[in-house]
Structure 1
């Protein structure tokens, strides 16, 4: 709902605002009224001045006619001329002429229109009528002629000019003050609408915290109250939906006592790690068992036993946090399992011994004075070794460790050291970074039955003297060695070059945990993307859910910068991070990418299918896309299509290929 509202606002961005409409209409009406008043007043003043001008001419004609008739002899041209000169010089006239009965001018004076303060253009514009007034000249009962008088309109033009200027100034002052008052009033009355717009945009970005506090008219107050109520309702709805997803994930994938991954979920994820070709990599499985746990629960009760398991689970969680990519689960009773992808047996053995020592210390402190033992069995992955075989090998190693009467770990006999140690890995990865021996491999993300391509997921591989190594092999080691930032910088550089060279492509990358947490790397990424310009809109940036869990503040800083640059951001490996779904409410992610452990055999896993269906429904309501990875069979993809997934990838839909090759190439 909020997304639709924000979309509607964006569509209307080019239209005139309500404030502008009201201001334009009311202002135009005010200007029209003032203009009409000005024109009417001007017309009245012009008519009045014209009438005065006519009266002045008639008065002059009457006075001159009487003077010529009574005061002097009108037949005397010299006396008549003197009288007319006296009258002409004392008044404002254009002409005074004494005409006899035959039409001959006996005496008269004329002058041109001059000496006015009015502009010439104004005189031409208004053009006052210049009426001629006449009066008879008689001697006794005899008509001698007539006097013709035309008043000088100069002063009339000046009076009319002053009146016009005064009217115009008054109209401008009144109109300007009225428009200013109208603008201020509308801005004050409509101020809540700007806050409502900002609130709608915040809702579109899943931020339900913004409220409209400005008060205005009763109608607008009702609108703002309704918007605030909607924000509250949407926030509560989202929280409820997030809690539902979290609850479903816990029910289906978490152990109720310890909060660790359940046995079925651990096995599912382990299968996905071992059986996915792109993620298949060296790794070590650690099986851990607490000795004498049954005696402990009999002595202290089940409640204390559960508390002990929670303490042990806390120690295991801290261990996993220190080793990116590793994950832990509870098998049954006091048995736990840890898988460490991309690690060698020699390194894991050292880490496992430290872990066992720490767990034994926790166990001994809680169980004193009882005897305690903690054993671990280690098994190394190998080609052709499935999840069931690896579990059996680690279980066998655990039984061997339990033959000793002290805490410790045992490496399975068939787990010979075939992988490099940490220092060798450091040399291999550092050399590849120095020589820029990193290549891009692309795997299509498709949608629908027609398998329309959405974008390409980018995998990195490095060239070494031993051959090409997949990301699943070297990335976990690069994370542990603190080299992942340099790998990601090189990856981003190659991806931006690819986008510039292929303007029709859309690509997606995933950033390492340590990269996102590093301030220098975040600054470099933002600078590179800002310099790249508009093409970054075709780049999806993925951040693992576990990274969000452990580096919430750093992730927030990076995501907001990326969104400002127009870079779409997605949550990678969604579902395995153990993070409350509510983080989507505060961070503007555009998509989720479901971890492949939830997709593996989805057609026969009812719990995961129901969970995924809930995720898709809630994400859709928030305008967030949902992608899936690890699709290996047609039935898995069919289920995803029925759920309305926005995109999926996997070996069934397209294998990775080198960036310089055709999409039909294989890894």
Structure 2
């Protein structure tokens, strides 16, 4: 029971007993008045009757006496009249039926009025003539009392109802600040801070509200400082301070992650001699300025795909990872870098050879060895440096499906949707006790005995804006699966970036969720972190739709982007999947501190943190110490297989 209900109930009970007491007192006063009035009427009637009968009793005229009695007691307010003549002990008796009209029988049965009997001796001088006994009829008294009962009861009921409304309104108004405090406490418990509570007019609650507002600001400041500290540690460990790009550690983590996921795409290795010359001839400040300028141009004009990652490997060496990119797109990327450096050289005559070399290596997905890919990129870079007039060389080792063009992927995707060639696999996400949190859905295409994983065609899907088609098909299929199998789930579906930024898809998804509200809690959506960082407006609209329908969502590749982690406070996802760059070398103390800080930021907001590719018990134990409470990887698949 709420405090309002408890106070309101007791106030009504007390007020009810007060009203009931007043009602009883008023009713008893009316009853006593009617009783006294009835007694006085009977007494007056007997006295008057005695005076009227005396002359006739002296003459022993019984007929006249009966006439007098009939005249006196014909009003219906008496039940019985008994006249005893003392001369011969004869009696004249009159009885009147007791009929009380308009009064409920249960009210009469209460016997509110006692029987009033009045006896008197009729005399003439010193001689006693007769004795008269009159028994009153209570009908009139009951009628009047019942009328008072109804009127008084109605008035009291109306007063009680009006008072109840007024008491409830005033009590709710008085407790409104307390309701705000309660709601604010609930929000604080969920680490949602919001605006401060307005100060109430009540002196006692002002102190409480001030304390809560101060505590809220302190907690908000604490979480903001924690997020900033996590950002600082993350940038120190994984970002190059001059260029703002990732450093070698970040690059290695992203490379391993990409090769483990699919390995389909390419890599560009760039050596900028223009920068090394600036350091050598003009000093560190000029060199740093040129590095910063090159990095800005690279990230804002060259890298247009959100899946690409750039890093600075050394003073004048840079690398770009381009997952799901084919040879043509990678060659275009290399040409763009070459043109950008030529513009930076400030040689309007074009007489100076480009002071840059770009080595491009395309990986078909079959190669998962980082050293082999790096060797190919180094080889391409060496060949590029040997062709100074046009220093861009591409080595393409892709074969089979990896060499398919975008239009081929588009045709295959449409065919797979039309003919339902998709197959789905599920990978469990569990806590440290192996309790299932959810399962991630992995989609692939099977045609003519060939298996095409999502990593092979996702690049074409994003570039050709086919994410809406793919995501609608997958979500519809998973919703049907969950509806048919009540024991299935929870299942997490990854959303493509092109769908997230598509207003028509967001509307469709909102409608689909409302039509399948029963699946809330069993269907989750994973949104890449880049959507929260670079497409916050679209993602906010999508997140609102998901929340309003009662569903949940998580963040994929958590921590990959170097922007602030403040978006967690704004969007409040249910879980985050930590980018593999933070977990690939957790034995290193420095990386362990960064991982713990990044995870603590989410953990303190009651957001579940999930690590992927967990393969050993040692990894599981180490990650558990670093504020990671969800795990996904071979260790649980192996356990499931052995149990099966």
Question: Structure 2: how far apart are the matches of 1:96 and 1:415?
Answer: 127
Which residue is 1:42 aligned to?
A: 27
For residue 521 of structure 1, the aligned residue among 491, 505, 518 is: 505
- What's 1:391 paired with? 374
What's the counterpart of residue 542 of structure 1? Answer: 526
| Counterparts of 2:398 and 2:112, CA distance in 1 | 114
Determine if the alignment matches structure 1 residue 492 to structure 2 residue 475. Answer: yes
Deviation at 1:374, TM superposition (A): 2.7
1:460 equivalent in alignment to 2:443: yes
> Number of aligned pairs?
641
**Offset at 1:256?**
0.7
SS in 2 for 1:581: coil
TM-score for the superposition, normalised by structure 2: 0.91
Instruction: Give the structure 2 partner of residue 302 of structure 1.
Output: 284
Deviates more, 1:113-122 or 1:71-80: 113-122
Q: Which deviates more, 549-558 or 485-494?
A: 485-494
Residues 504-539 of structure 1, C-alpha deviations (whole Å, 9 max, x = no match): 332222111111111111222222233233223112
2:575 maps to 1:591: yes
Compared CA separation, residues 446 and 84, structure 1 to 2 (3 A):
closer
Please tell me whether residue 348 in structure 1 is matched to residue 330 in structure 2.
Answer: yes
Deviation for aligned residue 1:108:
5.0
Given that residues 131 and 150 in structure 1 are in contact (C-alpha distance below 8 angstroms), is that contact kept between their aligned partners in structure 2?
A: yes
Q: Distance in 2 between matches of 1:109 and 1:181?
A: 58
Deviates more, 1:389-398 or 1:72-81: 72-81
Contact in 2 for aligned 1:94/1:113 (Cα 8 Å): yes
- Secondary structure of the 1:257 match is coil
Render the CA deviation track for 1:186-221: whole Å, top value 9, x for unaligned: 021011233234334443554322332262422233
From 576, 581, 589, give the equivalent of 2:565.
Answer: 581
CA distance in 1, matches of 2:581, 2:533: 19
Q: CA RMSD in A?
A: 3.1
Q: Secondary structure at the match of 2:198?
A: coil
Match in the other structure for 2:597: 614
Deviations 1:615-657 (A, max 9, x none): 333333221111111224443233123335322122344279x
Question: Given the superposition, is the C-alpha separation of residues 350 and 82 from structure 1 closer, same or farther in structure 2, using an over 3 Å criterion?
Answer: closer
Q: In structure 2, which of residues 423, 428, 433 is the aligned counterpart of residue 439 of structure 1? A: 423
* Equivalent of 1:380 in 346, 354, 362: 362
**Alignment correspondent of 1:284:** 266
Runs of 5+ in structure 1 lacking a partner? 1-15, 657-661
Distance 1:352 1:369 in 2: 21
Contact 1:283 1:380 in 2 (8 A): yes
Within the alignment, does 1:630 sit opposite 2:613 as a pair?
A: yes
Structure 1: distance between partners of 2:78 and 2:186: 75
Tell me what 2:298 maps to: 316
The match for 2:220 is 235
DSSP 3-state at the match of 2:313: strand
Q: Distance in 1 between matches of 2:413 and 2:314?
A: 39
Partner of 1:293: 275
Task: Pick closer, same or farther for the CA change 1:167–1:652 going to 2, 3 Å.
Answer: closer
Alignment partners' CA distance in 1, 2:451 and 2:560 = 29
- CA distance in structure 2 between the aligned counterparts of 1:229 and 1:363, rounded to whole angstroms: 56
Unmatched runs of 5 consecutive residues or more in structure 2? none
Greater shift in the superposed pair: 538-547 or 629-638: 629-638
Residue 60, structure 1, aligned to residue 42, structure 2: no
SS in 1 for 2:637: coil
Which position in structure 2 is the counterpart of 1:264?
Answer: 249
2:6 alignment counterpart: 21
* 1:357 equivalenced with 2:365 (yes/no): no
Aligned mates of 1:425, 1:469 — CA distance in 2? 10
Q: SS at the partner of 1:292?
A: helix
TM-score by length of 1: 0.88
Give the equivalent residue in structure 1 for 2:16. Answer: 31
Pair 1:157 & 2:142 matched: yes
Partner of 1:12 in structure 2?
none
Q: Is the 8 A contact 1:594 1:628 kept in 2?
A: yes
The 1:131/1:437 distance shift into structure 2, 3 A limit, reads same
Deviations 1:521-563 (A, max 9, x none): 1222222233233223112211111121111111111112212
